Amino acid sequence: MQATVRIFDPDTRSGSVFLDDGTEIPFGAAAFDAGPLRLLRSGQRVNIALTDGLITAITLSTFPLPEIGA
């Protein structure tokens, strides 16, 4: 699923994204650390993996999502 970064804090490696319908979903460091990224910026398009409404992985829209638990 794709989303747009709303905010990202590089110190905590957490932030939130907007889904295309405007829903805001927060993510923690674990979701950010699941991928290869070092930084995100507001407005950036990303791919996210959701499990039970929580973001479990986030990466750039041009990168594949990592396989969680593989």
Q: What size, in residues, is the chain?
A: 70
% of the chain residues with pLDDT over 70: 94
What pLDDT is stored for residue 70 in this prediction? 41
What pLDDT is stored for residue 63 in this prediction? 82
The per-residue DSSP string of 22-57 comes to: S-EEEE-HHHHHTSS-S---TT-EEEEEEETTEEEE
Q: Among residues 28, 24, 26, which one has the least CA distance to residue 14?
A: 28
CATH of domain 2-60: 2.40.50
Q: Given a cut of 60, is residue 68 above it in pLDDT?
A: no
Task: Locate the domains of the chain by residue range.
Answer: 2-60
Residues 31-62: tens digit of each pLDDT = 998 888 889 999 999 999 999 999 999 999 88
CA distance 27 to 16: 6
Q: What single letter denotes the amino acid at residue 15?
A: G
Residue 62, both tokens: 């041009």
